[in-house]
């Protein structure tokens, strides 16, 4: 039996970027979206996307604001086939060790939740293809509607809402990044860190209260 999930009706929360997949999926999205905008000759939208990324690199805006602006000028121009092509590319970077671990938890009857700051535009499709029971991700940018990136406390709140809806308790968190401190700190079960940086280890080890496992792989 896999550590941390011994009964039915317990949930395993899995991060996406750097955990289940080996890449920063939003960086891949930006490159993909830029190519599609240029192919469609949407030069104004492409220039807006370039400005958002450049402004972020120059620290003129937060990562969250860059993501909001990038999605607002690109997501609507990607059709279903575009999303499928992007997802196919992203799934080629799956971390097989983590995927096998997730499958072990599934076999034990655990509920699987994909929780990510990546856009729902493609994260939900990834969750569907990998047979997760639920997915919480950064929502689409809709004019006139409040928007927030699904990270930190917002991610924790979304996970807790999903846990209530599924009537399950949190048993395992699998992540690679200290952005998930609120989630790790909330979890009384097992926290599994995948290729964590020294900063991530320093922040998340105390929050795990001794219930931590580290997976280190060659880069």
User: What does the pLDDT look like over 114-153, one tens digit per residue?
Assistant: 999 999 999 999 999 999 999 999 999 986 678 999 999 9
103, 84: one domain: no
125, 64: one domain: no
Number of domains the chain is built from:
2
DSSP state of 17: B
Beta bridge partners of residue 14, listed in sequence order: 114, 174
Domain that holds residue 71: 26-88
User: What does the pLDDT look like over 40-70, one tens digit per residue?
Assistant: 999 999 999 999 999 999 999 999 999 999 9
118, 144: one domain: yes
SS3 state of residue 78: coil
Percentage of the chain modeled with pLDDT above 90 = 90
**Cα–Cα dist 172/170, whole Å:** 6
- Average pLDDT in the chain: 94
158, 125: one domain: yes
Domain final residue, candidates 51, 68, 88: 88
Quote the tokens at residue 131: 């047979």
In a domain, 39, yes or no: yes
**Structure confidence at residue 8 (pLDDT):** 47
CATH number at residue 107: 3.40.50.1000
Domain final residue, candidates 88, 107, 130: 88
186, 164: one domain: yes
Question: Taking residues 187-212, what's their average pLDDT?
Answer: 94
Domain final residue, candidates 70, 88, 106: 88
4 Cβ contact list (under 8 Å, min separation 6): 12, 171, 172, 189, 190, 192, 211
Quote the tokens at residue 85: 């092509």
In a domain, 59, yes or no: yes
Q: Taking 80 as the threshold, does the pLDDT of residue 169 lie above it?
A: yes
**Structure confidence at residue 146 (pLDDT):** 87
User: What does the pLDDT look like over 177-187, one tens digit per residue?
Assistant: 999 999 999 99
């Amino acid at each position: 039996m896999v550590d941390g999930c011994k009964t039915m009706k317990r949930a395993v929360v899995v991060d996406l970027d750097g955990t289940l997949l080996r890449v920063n999926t939003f960086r891949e999205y930006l490159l993909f979206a830029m190519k599609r905008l240029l192919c469609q000759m949407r030069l104004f939208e492409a220039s807006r996307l370039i400005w958002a990324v450049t402004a972020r690199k120059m620290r003129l805006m937060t990562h969250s604001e860059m993501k909001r602006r990038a999605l607002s000028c690109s997501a609507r121009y990607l059709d279903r086939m575009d999303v499928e092509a992007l997802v196919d590319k992203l799934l080629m970077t799956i971390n097989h060790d983590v995927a096998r671990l997730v499958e072990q938890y599934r076999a034990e009857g655990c509920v699987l939740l994909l929780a990510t700051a990546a856009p729902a535009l493609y994260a939900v499709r990834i969750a569907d293809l990998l047979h997760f029971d639920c997915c919480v991700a950064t929502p689409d940018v809709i004019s006139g509607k409040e928007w927030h990136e699904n990270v930190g406390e917002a991610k924790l709140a979304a996970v807790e809402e999903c846990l209530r809806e599924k009537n399950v308790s949190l048993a395992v968190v699998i992540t690679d990044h200290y952005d998930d401190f609120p989630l790790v700190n909330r979890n009384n079960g097992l926290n599994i860190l995948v290729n964590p940086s020294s900063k991530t280890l320093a922040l998340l080890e105390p929050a795990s209260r001794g219930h931590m496992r580290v997976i280190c792989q060659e880069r």
